[in-house]
Amino acid sequence: MEHLFKAWPGFIKSVKAASHVLILADYDGTLTQIVGRPEDAVLSAGVRQKLQALAGKSGISAGVISGRSLKELKSLVAIEGIYYSGNHGMEIEGPGLKYVNSQAEAARITMQEMAAQLAEALENIDGVIIQEKGLSVSVHYRLVKPEKEDDVTGAVKRITAPHVDKGEISVYPMKKVWEIRPQVDWNKGKAVEFIGREIKAKLKASRLLTIYLGDDTTDEDAFKVLHRPDGWSIFVGSEKASSSAAYYLNSVVEVEEFLDRLIKLK
């Protein structure tokens, strides 16, 4: 893994060689700092302004791919003309584009039922935040007392186990969040490829450069589908050997600097 700014000459080469650039980023922990309450994760004025500038460039398409619901993600980011993908890629919307994974759609009722069971089981543990997001469920425990964390994990495992055993759902450990998703052959990587194909077809782009930035477990699927010179995968956080990303940036602050450099390049 190499720091992206150390590989900058190579990156410039890739940008120059591309007929169009697609930049996709995760939201929480990538474009915004990690916070205790999910509703407090808002874009800084600087990042918002840079995303807007990128979206306004004819040679660039931009998008945000998050574990949040599409609806929530759109209202948080609120920039026109970009791609949005919610529920870890299972829902996608963009200029002239709309997609919902049909297998995931079939799990909607199961997700609702599990969210209700989790709410009941965890109602006496302070700080737990359960997000029912339609196609998936998040159980946040960043605000839970450390000695109570095992109780949260226990309840999540117990309630999800029957569905995990049947192969209906998967449970992923994220940063102080349990992510419960339908087990479908679709993820952030498939969403990246899907949006890339759409753009290539729409713009007749002979050579598309795709950039993906992310900080957590489900972003690894996106890192895996991108290879140089036409795919640049960027992990956000301290250098991490286990990540599939080829490059890293240390923080959201460096991500903002990267966006600024990209604006000036294209």
Q: Any idea which residues carry the catalytic annotation?
A: 26
Q: Does residue 215 interact with Mg ion by CB under 5 A? A: yes
Give, as ranges, the residues between 108 and 127 that touch Mg ion (CB under 5 A). none
Least distance in Å: CB of 102 to Mg ion? Answer: 26
* Geometric angle at alpha carbon 131, from 125 and 135, rounded to 5°: 140
Q: Does residue 89 interact with Mg ion by CB under 5 A? A: no
Q: Does residue 216 interact with Mg ion by CB under 5 A? A: yes
Residue 138's DSSP bridge partners are 131, 179
Listed in sequence order, the residues at least 6 apart from 100 whose beta carbon sits closer than 8 Å to its beta carbon are 90, 91, 92, 135
**What letter would DSSP give residue 70?**
H
Q: Is the Cβ of residue 43 or residue 155 nearer to Mg ion in the bound state? A: 43
Q: Does residue 93 interact with Mg ion by CB under 5 A? A: no
Residue with the shortest CB distance to Mg ion: 29
Give, as ranges, the residues between 21 and 50 that touch Mg ion (CB under 5 A). 26, 28-29
Q: Is the Cβ of residue 41 or residue 60 nearer to Mg ion in the bound state? A: 41
Listed in sequence order, the residues at least 6 apart from 15 whose beta carbon sits closer than 8 Å to its beta carbon are 21, 209, 262, 265, 266
- From CA 257, how far away is CA 242, in angstroms rounded? 25
Least distance in Å: CB of 79 to Mg ion? Answer: 18
The binding site for Mg ion (CB under 5 A) comprises 26, 28-29, 215-216
